[in-house]
Chain A
């Protein structure tokens, strides 16, 4: 079974630039999460979806961050006008109720803003 796929794996931006991260969850997983993980810290929840619906996006840091999952499968997280404080790894995870809500993570997208 294919795991969660994320791209790109790395991105280096200047402040003010925009970036989009893409996630393909495990087939059949209805819940998809985006987390932000600063270096050597725990993942911080940004947003999560059930199918195509946003369930909770209250933790998105600002209106510079947006996320969509239009067909209930793949998802895109976009950061506009990036700041140095956005430097982190962005993790996508998916889950399915019968799995006891175990989260399966992708390898992450490492963002560096200079």
Chain B
């Protein structure tokens, strides 16, 4: 099945800093990407989706997508301790948009 790789595995940033998370697919058919956030002991919740090349911004969160390299990144500016969570990248391909595969995640720790 398609692979979704995330880096880094773990990231520590100071409060107010910028966090940058990366995600790449090894499947050339991948067409859709999502970012989910999962706080400890809770279920994943969709943060942002991106389906077209370029950039999308929502508040402190910005996602980029480069379809040619199948790479997406999530940037969190002015990071807050409440942003500490497991960030999951998910993808599906254009042959089956409903088969959603997740990466292993990036653990983000924001230190007060």
Q: What 1/0 mask marks residues of chain B from 38 to 63 whose CB sits below 8 Å from any chain A CB?
A: 00001111100101000000000000
**B87 closest partner in A (C-beta):** A42
- Contact assessment for B107 and A105 in the assembled complex, using a CB-CB cutoff below 8 Å: no
List CB contacts (< 8 Å) of A25-44 with chain B: 31, 33, 35, 40-44
| Neighbouring A residues of B51 by C-beta, 8 Å | 100
Tally of B interface residues using CB under 8 Å: 28
Shortest distance from the beta carbon of B98 to any chain A beta carbon, whole Å: 6
| Neighbouring B residues of A56 by C-beta, 8 Å | 96, 99
List CB contacts (< 8 Å) of B81-101 with chain A: 86, 88, 90, 92, 96-101
Interface residues on A, range: 20 to 34
Total A-B contacts with CB atoms under 8 angstroms apart: 60
Q: What 1/0 mask marks residues of chain B from 1 to 12 whose CB sits below 8 Å from any chain A CB?
A: 100101000000
Q: What 1/0 mask marks residues of chain A from 11 to 54 whose CB sits below 8 Å from any chain B CB?
A: 00000000000000000000101010000111111001010000
Partner of A42, one of B1, B49, B105: B105
- Contact assessment for A107 and B98 in the assembled complex, using a CB-CB cutoff below 8 Å: no
Known: A101-B32, A102-B34, A107-B43. Is A40-B100 also a contact (CB below 8 A)? no
28 example contacts (A-B, Cβ-Cβ < 8 A) are as follows A40-B86, A41-B104, A41-B105, A42-B4, A42-B104, A43-B44, A43-B102, A45-B1, A45-B99, A45-B100, A45-B101, A45-B102, A48-B98, A50-B98, A56-B96, A58-B1, A91-B44, A100-B49, A100-B51, A101-B32, A101-B97, A102-B34, A103-B34, A103-B36, A103-B44, A103-B90, A105-B43, A105-B44
Q: Which residues of B approach A to under 8 Å, CB–CB?
A: 1, 4, 6, 32, 34, 36, 42-46, 49, 51, 86, 88, 90, 92, 96-105, 107
